[in-house]
Amino acid sequence: MPLKQLFVYKHKYLPFIIETNVEKNMYFYSDHSDSNRQLITSLPKARSPIVRLNTICPYFTMYPLDFPFNVLEQAQSTDWVLDPFSGRGTTNFAARMRGIASFGIDTSPIACAISAAKFVNTTPIKIIKLCKAILKDKTKPNHIPHGKFWELCYHSSTLSEIYIIKETLLDECVTDETIALRALMLGILHGPTYKNLTSYLSNQMPRTYSTKPDYSIRYWEKNRMSPEKIDVLDVVSRKAKYSFNTLPPRTTGGISLSDARKPLKFIPDEGFNWVITSPPYFGMKTYLPDQWLRNWFLGGPDLIDYSNSSQLCHGSKETFIGELSNVWKNITKACAPNAQLVIRFGSLPSKICNPLEILQKSIDLANCGWEHYSTYSAGSPKIGRRQSEQFGDNLGTAQKEIDYYAVLT
């Protein structure tokens, strides 16, 4: 399926093309660099500079980078990887580390904005220069949101700078630098406050999700917390130097804001050779309410949007299985013969179920040629210090996950 009617931005310094279309909500990078470049064959340590881009924005429901990276050990350099539930783009970044082309799909604009940044090839200097220019050229905005939440969440001058950057990126976000700055801003938009060094722009909040306004107000007032005046450019500068100082070689690929149950907006000529993904677990109805501040930054309303019409239906286990089967049916049409399907799946503490049973039923119902050949225990998610603990929430005990392997026969 060729890419049609796409606006093409040719960067004068880099040997690739960024193709983007606002209506189709897709970013695509065509790499024309040296195919004989040295590839990354072993995953660097978690704090290595070359993997820092993968953590540019704290995000829940994500699996570790080593999972897709290790799966792709047997992949060929000409293979294509698909993730129909791309989340923050971990599969795409793992493919980039391996020097393999990839494509991701997600219904969340936040997920797609973060994932798109996993393909960029820029430098901290260029990102900082862009941020300086935006803050220098823009006059004070007139449409900043008002209300108790906004007064307690951000210092007025900080909110003004956030809004200036937000509006500029909504007008145009197609270059490597704008895409990188957008993802970086999503990552620093809210998070915990520290005594020594400011890393986030908000009053005390979790990093991975936005607490609801009423709850936040009560928490801040109870603990007598007021927002500090934060230099946005300073935080952007430090984060840009951390995340973009060392990047793996660029690879071909892209991200689409779309529904994996519907026809794909891009299919490589020979089809996808790998599908590596982690669908939402049964009961995970929508991400947007917990990401409402980031959604606002991307042009959404300045209040919580509880709609979830574009996501899998979780009304019952049977309905969810049917929805998931529609994804497998659809993506199979885009896969090459003998393609590999690898799925990490589990269950929520509040909706304990048998992950293997749900997956197998959904694939059996799809009846499109996937033959299951292995299942491995992935253990329990490595949670460590949960972000929700900052606000005293209790998420319950994490359930064990599985890695499911199938081949297209």
- 106: nearest Cα among 121, 119, 90: 90
CATH 3.40.50.150 domain range(s) in the chain: 7-39+77-117+252-408
**pTM, two decimal places:** 0.88
For residues 29 and 122, give the distance between their C-alpha atoms in angstroms, rounded to a whole number: 13
Q: Which CATH class is domain 7-39+77-117+252-408?
A: alpha beta
Coil vs helix vs strand at 362: helix
Which range, of 48-62, 182-196, 246-260, averages the lowest pLDDT? 48-62
Render pLDDT for 270-305 as a digit per residue (tens, 0 to 9). Answer: 999 999 999 988 876 666 788 999 999 999 998 887
Coil vs helix vs strand at 400: coil
pLDDT over threshold 90, residue 66? yes
- 97: nearest Cα among 236, 276, 272: 276
Strand order in the sheet with 335-345: 7-10, 16-21, 26-31, 253-257, 101-106, 80-83, 272-277, 335-345, 401-408, 370-379
For residues 91 and 108, give the distance between their C-alpha atoms in angstroms, rounded to a whole number: 16
The pLDDT score that the predictor gives to residue 242 is 97
